[in-house]
Structure 1
Amino acid sequence: MRPLLIALTLLASTTVFSAAHAQGPAEFDPSDFGKIVIQPRQAAGGAGGFVLEQAFGDYQNEPIIEYGENSPAVRLGRPIGRLDMLFSNGKTGFCTAFIVDDQHILTNHHCVPGMDGDPSGKDSGVQAAQLVMGFIKPGRSEGVDRYTVSPQIVETSRELDYSVLRVFGNPSTKYGKLELAEENPEDAEFLWIIGHPQGQAQHISREGCAAASPAISDEGKLVHTCDTLGGNSGSPVLRITDKRVIGLHHAGDSRTGFNMAIPMTRIIPQSKVLKAAVGPHAEGQQVAAAPVPQPKPKPVEPAAVPDPEPVPTAAAPKAAPAGNQCSALWSEAKLLGCAGYEAYVDECGDHTFASMARRVIQRECSIPTVAPADGDTKVLTVKANGGGDFDTLAAAVARAEPGSRIEVYPGTYTQGIDVSKPLDIIGVGNMSDIILAVANDNAIEWTAPSGRISGLTVRQTGGKYFGVHIAGGNVVIEDSDFTAAELAVIAIRGNEGATIRRSTIHDGAQGGIFVFENGKALIEDNTIFGNGLGGIEIKEGAAPTVRGNTIRDGNGSGIFVNVDGSGIIENNTVFNNALAGIEVKSAYDVILRGNVVRNGQQGGIMLSDGSTGRVENNTVYGNAFSGLEIKSDANPMVTGNEFRDGQQSAIYIHEGGRGVLENNSIHHNAFYGMSVRGDSNPIVRANTFSDNVYEAIRVREGAGGTYENNDMSGNGAGAFLIEADAGNVIRRGNIE
């Protein structure tokens, strides 16, 4: 590995040009827009030594594929793509961008406004844009995906040289997301940069790639020695230790011999999108997982992030009062309240208690924004420190008239609430500061005919109780955070209806959400992770709709439809669970539709014990066992799915499993496309089997079945392997 360049310690006094001097992205021929393999025609440069990227000595930015398709580097780089742009003025450009959440990507500001720039920073000048993902093999476009990018900029900053863009089609379900760091790198810390230099296949800079010493210049830039070229603009700077993004690469200065990035500690506080990505639900992000992830400890609730230190400017700093004066002002601030705390921060921003004062201001002094209540609705306020109508939530619930709205302000409330009358219970302020923490009782018991809970953090901290027990009536629960110490986080039974949406349900000692005894629910757009059993379990006549959730990192199945359960399970993302991603056992007429089930520690989807249902249009990949397992007389309809990149056979039918499987795409699996054994008798028709390591279909041990009109060409060992002990196998019309 090359030594770091000399004189690193001189950087603190080095003047670095602003990103405002940067030109736009490098160009390619407009006729190449929409293609994967392109020929760049220009590298962007800059006056006065300032360029977008540069190499140091021997160029050591290597094609990432050289490390192997299953290498940690390739897996880490999956959320990173090439951003191709066709500008309204007929010019073209490409940069690097990476996925930060389900809808957004991050790149440089100087990439997007076009070659002429844009003073407002909002009109991108882009006629069309696409995000190219999975381009890792030089000169080869197979396996590459294109996603449309909106030309309208979501967020941008010329000073910090970043832009957030909207991407359609949710590429995160296939490629994951990168985690963002909220701290600066250490001096001389080793780094990686992954991107698309010159618009070519993904490259990695790792040899000689490190932060300078000091890592952060006087102008607030992250200075590094990683080799880059045109097209690397917008690449993430990744810390090796935890694979998080610590900077957004954007420029270099040939006079000083360093490249530069904007630290994420400066960008995140300015971006609503990025703050949400690393906020209370940051556990929902995913660096591309290894094929067989190891069990992870339960996520720890993130600590509050202090306000970032301001970047020094040319103006002379304001003289701070002496330490004893600040101590005296602190005492006065506590007596005066919000005005005192604000004065304290203004005068003593660097003093010992400044971060505490900022936290108090954030929690208690900002003006909360909530939708106004209807004119006829009675509003009660709950403030733990006094000043409201009540200082405990339990008292407010007990005394509120039916139909009232209870507004709960920051504080910790320790008594469980029993809601038997229609109420709206709404958190006012930062959800993470409005805490209902209850031991030896259900935190919330709900039997009211209607009502709503929103904006709360609910912690059931001990005893054989649920976090929320919906035992009757109807309720909407949204935009909240829940956990429970010993039982399921949310239990739903014998009720008229419940909607659970946009909430985080995590770290339950048993399941996340348990719907049973004919419970009724719509469960949508939640993040569910780290639970001891199933992320969602359904049984005993319950038939909820489960839609659009992310369910991950559980110690059981992601979704478990158990005895006599049913329901519609659609458009969920399920990954890295210890058992099957979705398991259906002794359940009937279950619909599994449009889900992404990936990177499970065992199988993808499993149906057993006579289960019936429809499995359609799901994408199942990267699981340690089979993508689909059908056994013990289960008899589903399986159509229009993709089963790929599994570490065993894509589909495993055994122990008398049946079913109709048609119009599925089954490819690139480590064993067979389909393995059938043990008195099983499926109907398999009009499927495409390709690029599986062994035969497309193996049949053995008394199994039979009908196999017709399948395309089975192009598998490693041929079309069929019919063992001598197989049963009655009917084959007709197949392309072998």
Structure 2
Amino acid sequence: MPANRRKNGIGLPAACLLSSVTLAAPAQAQTVGFDPADYGRAQLPLRQTTGDAAAFVDQNKGAFEPVAELDPKDALAVLARPIGRVDILLKNTRTGQQMGASCTGTLLPGDYVLTNHHCLPQSGELTPLKVSILMDYLTLDGKGSRRFEMEAKPIEFDPRLDYALARVAGHPGEIYGTARLSGGEIAGNPSMLVIHHPLGRPKVMSRFRCFAMKEQPDGPDLRHRCDTLAGSSGSLMFEGSVGAVALHKEGGLDPKDASSFNSATRLNAILGKSRILAEIAGQPGRPVAAADPGKPSAAPAAAAPSGPPASAPLDPAGMNAVLRGR
């Protein structure tokens, strides 16, 4: 495990893109930057001189499976529908500079979007000015995608657990469905699945050798070996038929170090902090020790969760079991 694991937060666009292609770097919050002039576009041009990060993704297709290639009726395609790309226009309150950042977010009942707090920061010099979620972004040209405006200030957030819950306009959940959250414990090192927008690119899945680490720390953090890149921050992690069990937040995998890992927050810890999310998940909230306070909602409102049935196959034909030599 790298001794200097840390979360860098959102930096300048060029720095974000540079960090996204350096797999052996220390753990970083996985937002991806873009030119603020491109806010609102489906395809985010890569305007940097450090190398074409999009080419890096193209050269490593084995790690990411395009959701666009799935049959729309496939259980995995249904599972992926409520997941979109969260685009943020940020302002540095000290310098006045504006910048763009991209994360991943998920539609929930009650017209909410769940993502990371560091994607919608509520402290420090960076302040979100405009936020939206781009749904059904499956191909580079953005054909068929649709954008929904979000509130720039989350209705709930917690820096330690690194989650933010924000309102979204236009009732996108009625079109794309909503995710099913689970407060269940994660036992052993199960195979997992991540659906995300790495580098702000079209939606993909990570499931090749994607699993929780055997050795886990005490507390809310979950260590995992699922491939991600900048832009993957805020993506849900799914386990088998249980549903979403964690919220991805940081990179840190080193291809030369089998003990390295990426990091997520266990949803049972987040549900214990959030009254709104606990009601969405259908279970009472529980206090979480040593969690930094966020801003709770005064009146949670949630519809019944939708999405795939509990038996949706997230690991067809035992794919991860085969890849792990079982």
TM-score by length of structure 2 reads 0.71
Q: Can you list the C-alpha shifts for 1:43-69, whole angstroms capped at 9, x where unaligned? A: 9xxxxxxxxxx9xx9851121122333
Is 2:123 the partner of 1:118?
yes
State the alpha-carbon separation in 2 of the partners of residues 38 and 551 from structure 1.
32
Instruction: For residues 567-616 of structure 1, give each alpha carbon's deviation from its aligned partner in whole angstroms, at most 9, with x where no partner exists.
Output: xxxxxxxxx9xxxxxxxxxxxxxxxxxxxxxxxxxxxxxxxxxxxxxxxx
**Are the equivalent residues in 1 in contact too, given 2:120–2:153 (CA < 8 A)?**
no
What does residue 133 of structure 1 align with? Answer: 135
Identical positions, percent: 27
Query: In proportion to residue count, which structure has more helix?
Result: 2
Partner of 2:28: none
CA contact (8 A) 1:124 1:153 kept: no
Indicate if the aligned counterparts of 1:82 and 1:94 stay in contact, CA closer than 8 A: yes
Q: Distance in 1 between matches of 2:278 and 2:84?
A: 22
Q: Which residue of 2 aligns with 1:90?
A: 98
**AA in 2 matched with 1:158:** P
What SS does the corresponding residue of 1:273 show, helix, strand or coil? helix
Q: 1:551 to 1:87 in 2, by over 3 A?
A: closer
Alpha-carbon displacement from aligned partner over 1:68-114 (angstroms, at most 9, x marks no partner): 3332211100110000111233111110000122221111111112x
1:239 match: 239
The residue identity in structure 1 corresponding to 2:70 is Y
2:229 maps to 229
Distance 1:154 1:42, change over 3 A: farther
Aligned to 1:190: 191
Residues 317-328 of structure 1: pairs in structure 2 closer than 5 A: none
Shift of the 124–274 alpha-carbon distance from structure 1 to 2, 3 Å rule, reads: farther
The residue type paired with residue 107 of structure 2 is I
Is 1:253 aligned to residue 252 of structure 2? Answer: yes
- C-alpha distance in structure 1 between counterparts of 2:302 and 2:10, whole Å: 42
Equivalent residue, structure 2, for 1:63: 66
> Secondary structure of the residue that 2:279 maps to in structure 1?
helix
| Cα distance change, pair 124–152 in 1 and its aligned pair in 2 (3 A) | farther
Matched residue, 2:41: 35
SS, match of residue 202 in structure 2: coil
CA distance in 2: counterparts of 1:148 and 1:28, whole angstroms: 18
Q: Give secondary structure in 1 for the equivalent of 2:76.
A: helix
Aligned position for 2:79: 76
- For residues 464-515 of structure 1, give each alpha carbon's deviation from its aligned partner in whole angstroms, at most 9, with x where no partner exists: xxxxxxxxxxxxxxx9xxxxxxxxxxxxxxxxxxxxxx9xxxxxxxxxxxxx
**RMSD between aligned residues:** 3.4
Counterparts of 1:526 and 1:39, CA distance in 2? 37
Q: Any idea what the Cα deviations from partners look like across 1:183-235, whole Å, max 9, x if unmatched?
A: 22221201100010111110000111111113x32353111111111100000
1:254 deviates by: 4.1
Map 1:338-377 onto structure 2 (within 5 A). none
Q: Which runs of 5+ in 1 are unaligned?
A: 1-10, 44-53, 281-304, 313-478, 480-501, 503-524, 528-549, 553-575, 577-736
C-alpha distance after superposition, 1:424-476 (max 9, x if no partner): xxxxxxxxxxxxxxxxxxxxxxxxxxxxxxxxxxxxxxxxxxxxxxxxxxxxx
Aligned to 1:277: 280
**Number of the residue aligned with 2:24:** none
Name whichever structure is richer in strand by fraction: 1
TM-score of the superposed pair, with normalisation by structure 1: 0.33
Residue 260 of structure 1: CA displacement? Answer: 0.9
Q: Counterpart in 1 of 2:144? A: 143
Residues in 2 aligned to 1:221 and 1:110: alpha-carbon distance in whole angstroms: 16
Contact 1:81 1:135 in 2 (8 A): yes
Instruction: Give 1:146-225 correspondences, 5 Å limit.
Output: 146-214=147-215, 216-225=216-225
Distance in 2 (CA, whole Å) between partners of 1:101 and 1:171 is 10
Q: Deviations over 1:388-443 (max 9, x none)?
A: xxxxxxxxxxxxxxxxxxxxxxxxxxxxxxxxxxxxxxxxxxxxxxxxxxxxxxxx
Q: Tell me if structure 2 keeps the 8 A contact 1:83–1:131.
A: yes
Q: Which has the larger radius of gyration?
A: 1
Structure 1 residue 23: Cα displacement:
3.8
Q: CA-to-partner distance for each residue in 1:312-342, whole Å, 9 max, x for gaps?
A: 9xxxxxxxxxxxxxxxxxxxxxxxxxxxxxx
CA distance in 1, matches of 2:217, 2:48: 30
CA distance in 2, matches of 1:310, 1:23: 27
Structure 2: state its 5+ residue gaps: 12-30, 50-56, 92-96, 292-298, 310-326
Cα 1:231/1:526, change in 2 over 3 Å: closer
Amino acid of the structure 1 residue aligned with 2:41: K
User: Does the CA contact (< 8 Å) of 1:80 and 1:133 recur in 2?
Assistant: yes
The one-letter code sitting in structure 2 at the alignment partner of 1:241 is S
Instruction: Tell me, in whole angstroms, the C-alpha distance in 2 between the residues paired with 1:206 and 1:112.
Output: 27
Q: Distance in 2 between matches of 1:95 and 1:80?
A: 11
**What SS does the corresponding residue of 2:118 show, helix, strand or coil?**
helix
Partner Cα separation in structure 1 for residue 251 and residue 38 of structure 2: 28
Distance 1:231 1:268 in 2: 24
Give the match's secondary structure for 2:37: helix
> Aligned to 2:110, which of 95, 102, 105?
102
Instruction: Assess if the C-alpha contact under 8 Å between 1:27 and 1:42 holds in 2.
Output: no
Taking a change above 3 Å as real, the CA distance of residues 234 and 42 of structure 1, as seen in their structure-2 partners, is: farther
Summarize the Cα distance change of 1:306–1:156 in structure 2 as closer, same or farther, 3 Å threshold: closer
Give the conservation status (yes or no) of the 8 Å contact 2:194–2:238: yes
Q: CA deviation at 1:39?
A: 2.3
CA separation in 2, counterparts of 1:16 and 1:172? 40
- State how far apart, in whole Å, the 2-side matches of 1:171 and 1:227 are: 28
Q: How far off is 1:40 after superposition?
A: 3.7
Task: Report the CA distance shift for 1:134/1:18 in structure 2 as closer, same or farther (over 3 A).
Answer: same
Larger RCO: 1 or 2 (CA < 8 Å, sep 6+):
2
SS in 2 for 1:125: strand
Cα displacement string for residues 508-543 of structure 1 (whole angstroms, at most 9, x for unaligned residues)? xxxxxxxxxxxxxxxxx996xxxxxxxxxxxxxxxx
Whole-angstrom CA distance in 2 between matches of 1:159 and 1:78: 28
Report the AA paired with residue 278 of structure 2.
K
Alignment deviations for residues 685-705 of structure 1 (CA, whole Å, 9 cap, x no partner)? xxxxxxxxxxxxxxxxxxxxx
Task: Please give the alpha-carbon distance, in whole angstroms, between the structure 1 residues aligned to 2:119 and 2:239.
Answer: 23
Mapped partners of 1:219, 1:75: distance in 2 = 32
Given that residues 184 and 265 in structure 1 are in contact (C-alpha distance below 8 angstroms), is that contact kept between their aligned partners in structure 2?
A: yes
Paired AA for residue 151 in structure 1: A
CA distance in 2, matches of 1:246, 1:40: 32
1:691 paired residue number: none
Please say if residues 178 and 305 of structure 2, whose CA atoms lie closer than 8 Å, have aligned partners that are also in contact. Answer: no
Instruction: Indicate conservation of the 8 Å contact 1:222/1:262, yes or no.
Output: yes
Count of aligned positions: 264
- Deviation by residue 1:540-569 (Cα, 9 ceiling, x = unmatched): xxxxxxxxxx799xxxxxxxxxxxxxxxxx
Amino acid at match of 1:90: Q
Contact 1:186/1:211 (8 A) holds in 2: no
